[in-house]
Structure 1
Amino acid sequence: MARIQRTALFSDLLILLGRLPWWINLVFALLSWLLLHPFASSALPVLGRVEAGGALTDSLFRQLARFAQYLLPLGFCTVALVALGYRVAQHRQMRSRPAPAPAALLQSMQWPAFRLLLEQAFRSKGYRVLGNTLAGADGSCDLLLQQAGERYLVHCRYWQARRLKVAPLREFFARVVSEGAAGGVVVTKGEFSAEARAFAAERQLELVDGTRLQRWVAVSRKRV
Structure 2
Amino acid sequence: MAQSQRTFPYADLLIVVGRLPFWANLGCALLSWVVLRHYANSPLPLLSGSQSAGILAGPFFRQLAMVVQYVLPLAFVAAALLAVFNCLRLLRHRRAVLTQNPAALLNNMAWPAFFQLLEQAWRRKGYRLLGSSLTATDASCDLLLQHSGERYLAHCQHWRASKLGVTPLRELFDRIVTEGAVGGFVVTCGEFSDEARAFAAERQLELIDGARLQRWLLASRR
Query: After TM superposition, is the score higher than 0.5?
Result: yes
Counterpart of 2:114 in structure 1 is 114
CA displacement, residues 84-141 of structure 1 (integer Å, 9 cap, x when unaligned) = 2232133223312422544344333343443333222212211222213x55453533
Q: How does 1:127-142 map to 2 (within 5 A)?
A: 127-132=127-132, 136=135, 138=137, 139-142=139-142
Counterpart of 1:76 in structure 2 is 72
The amino acid across from 1:175 in the alignment is R
Q: 1:80 to 1:216 in 2, by over 3 A?
A: same
Q: CA deviation at 1:190?
A: 1.6
Stretch of structure 1 that moved more, 200-209 or 13-22: 13-22
Instruction: Specify the SS of the correspondent of 2:159.
Output: coil
User: What is the aligned counterpart of 1:33 among 31, 37, 55?
Assistant: 37
Tell me how far apart the structure 2 counterparts of residues 15 and 135 of structure 1 sit (CA, whole Å).
40
Length, aligned pairs only: 200
CA displacement, residues 39-77 of structure 1 (integer Å, 9 cap, x when unaligned) = xx2477799xxx9xxx9x899x49x94x87665424433
Instruction: Note if 1:90 corresponds to 2:86.
Output: yes
Could you list the runs of 5+ residues in structure 1 that have no partner in the other structure? 1-11
Instruction: Specify the SS of the correspondent of 2:202.
Output: helix
User: Which of 1 and 2 has greater Rg?
Assistant: 1
Could you list the runs of 5+ residues in structure 2 that have no partner in the other structure? 1-7, 18-24
CA displacement, residues 157-179 of structure 1 (integer Å, 9 cap, x when unaligned) = 21221110122223322332344
Tell me how far apart the structure 2 counterparts of residues 169 and 194 of structure 1 sit (CA, whole Å).
12
Instruction: Specify the SS of the correspondent of 2:160.
Output: coil
Q: CA deviation at 1:210?
A: 1.7
Instruction: Specify the SS of the correspondent of 1:206.
Output: strand
Counterpart of 1:212 in structure 2 is 212
Tell me how far apart the structure 2 counterparts of residues 220 and 196 of structure 1 sit (CA, whole Å).
28
Normalised by the size of structure 2, how large is the TM-score?
0.69
Instruction: Specify the SS of the correspondent of 1:203.
Output: coil
Q: 1:180 to 1:42 in 2, by over 3 A?
A: closer
Say if 1:26 and 1:76, in contact at 8 Å, map to a contact too. no
Tell me how far apart the structure 1 counterparts of residues 192 and 164 of structure 2 sit (CA, whole Å).
5
Instruction: Note if 1:123 corresponds to 2:123.
Output: yes
> Cα RMSD over matched residues?
3.6
Normalised by the size of structure 1, how large is the TM-score?
0.68
Sequence identity percentage: 44
Stretch of structure 1 that moved more, 190-199 or 19-28: 19-28
